[in-house]
Structure 1
Amino acid sequence: MTLENIALTGRVLGVLLYAPPESEDGQQLLATLSESEWVKEWPYGDAEQLQTAAALIATGIEDKQEESLAEAYQRLFVGPDTLPAPLWGSVYLDKENVLFGNSTLRLRRWLRSNGIDAQHDRNEPEDHIGTLLMMVAWLAEERQGGLVEQLLTKHLLPWAPRYLELLQANAQHPFYQGLAQLAQITLSAWAAECSAEVESLELHF
């Protein structure tokens, strides 16, 4: 497991799956991703996979779609309509498909037992996909390889592939289609690098 690669890619994916595209962090990443050079530095996936994702991302950043990038973010991440790809782990892992469900409480206990402050909006469940990706990146930056692996195998990877599948299928915007593909490539590589098996948990969404 290469922590530098996890830190870099987790930070990029986490910000883009959490922050609005017009935010300062979002704008900085969009400027980087609008150029093709980043593909050579992305440490996961083969050239063909990355080029496909990168082409979609670049097309979406051009913002020549009927739906703007900001409008797509609003539809996919905020509402007011029902989100086609819910962003929180408990929606997938709890039978009732609720926020702050049992799986969120399990994650919260894990964070507390390891002295980790999620440093997020307290009204937002800790199991938001973007929050978890940024948390993985932070732990990797802190060289906490064991905790990175636990967070991945127990709390993120059991449900994140389903979320990304739904995001790609329902994105209807090239930027988020490409981002979903890039995240799928990356998380698949993370899973392969883990020494422990990803927990097999029943999904309910």
Structure 2
Amino acid sequence: MIIDTAKLLGILFHQKKSKNELIEISSALSEDGVLREATVQSLFDIDEEALSSDFTELFEGLGEMKVPPWGSVYLDREKVVFGDSTVQYRQFLLDNEIALNTVVREPEDQFGLMLLAFAFLLESNKTQAAKVLMEEHLLVWGMFYLKLLNKASHNKFYSLLALDVYEWLNKIIDDLCLVVEEKKIYLND
């Protein structure tokens, strides 16, 4: 179930979907106890155009981003995409024979992409590598990111999604006995 959940959550954070697709994915995650019913219900109050523009603003980068979804913005002193932490994560992906083929040139350390890579590693029976991805790459900044996303998003769906995923990741930490590496977060310096 972790694999399917990580895939669906990765899609929500990385791929722009129609309102109906978001409802379908979110409903499946709600049935599995990952998302609360309130998160799914919030989709019904938002129109298609607002969902699309909010996704672009929050996850693709339109203008100044309040909550960038790329790890290096949090982990690199210069607060840039494609920073040192991205290079380290890129090497981790190469070492584990993962090639990300996205349509646009973007850093590999995008939150949703990292969840998709986590699912791929688990699906490939590379459990130890999946744990390393979480402990050394995603969770070191991802929890901070989700807290910011919850507070900064004016879109109720994405705000509630951030809370639910935060809770799900805490459960993953417990279930997989993860020990998250501590790294300095530079975004708010």
Same fold (TM over 0.5): yes
Could you tell me which residue of structure 2 aligns to residue 73 of structure 1? 55
Contact 2:5 2:29 in 1 (8 A): no
Once the two structures are superposed, the pairs formed by residues 130-141 of structure 1 within 5 Å of their partners are 130-141=112-123
Q: Which amino acid aligns with 1:9?
A: T
CA distance in 2, matches of 1:62, 1:70: 14
Contact 1:95 1:204 in 2 (8 A): yes
Could you tell me which residue of structure 2 aligns to residue 58 of structure 1? 41
CA displacement at 1:114 relative to structure 2: 2.1
Once the two structures are superposed, the pairs formed by residues 1-205 of structure 1 within 5 Å of their partners are 5-22=1-18, 27-33=20-26, 35=27, 38-42=29-33, 50-51=35-36, 54-64=37-47, 68-121=50-103, 123-205=105-187
Q: Report sequence identity in percent.
A: 30
Contact 2:58 2:69 in 1 (8 A): no
CA distance in 2, matches of 1:32, 1:113: 31
Q: CA offsets, 1:28-47, max 9 Å, x none?
A: 342243x5x753423x5xxx
Q: Which amino acid aligns with 1:68?
A: A
- Which stretches in structure 1 are left out of the alignment for 5+ residues? 45-49
- Which stretches in structure 2 are left out of the alignment for 5+ residues? none
Contact 1:61 1:175 in 2 (8 A): no
SS in 1 for 2:172: helix
CA distance in 2, matches of 1:13, 1:175: 13
CA distance in 1, matches of 2:22, 2:39: 15
Cα distance 1:196–1:72, how it changes in 2: closer, same or farther (>3 A)?
Answer: closer
Which one is further off, 74-83 or 142-151?
Answer: 74-83
> Greater relative contact order (Cα 8 A, min sep 6): structure 1 or 2?
1
SS in 1 for 2:80: coil
Q: Which amino acid aligns with 1:55?
A: A
CA distance in 1, matches of 2:77, 2:117: 25
Which structure 1 residue ranges, 4+ long, deviate > 3 Å from structure 2?
26-29
The two structures have a TM-score, normalised by structure 1, of 0.82
CA distance in 2, matches of 1:94, 1:15: 25
CA distance in 1, matches of 2:40, 2:159: 8
Contact 1:157 1:191 in 2 (8 A): no
CA distance in 1, matches of 2:61, 2:86: 22
CA distance in 2, matches of 1:32, 1:107: 28
How many residue pairs get aligned? The number is: 187
When the two chains are superposed, the root-mean-square deviation of aligned CA atoms in Å is: 2.2
CA displacement at 1:120 relative to structure 2: 2.9
Which one is further off, 115-124 or 68-77?
Answer: 115-124
CA distance in 2, matches of 1:83, 1:103: 19
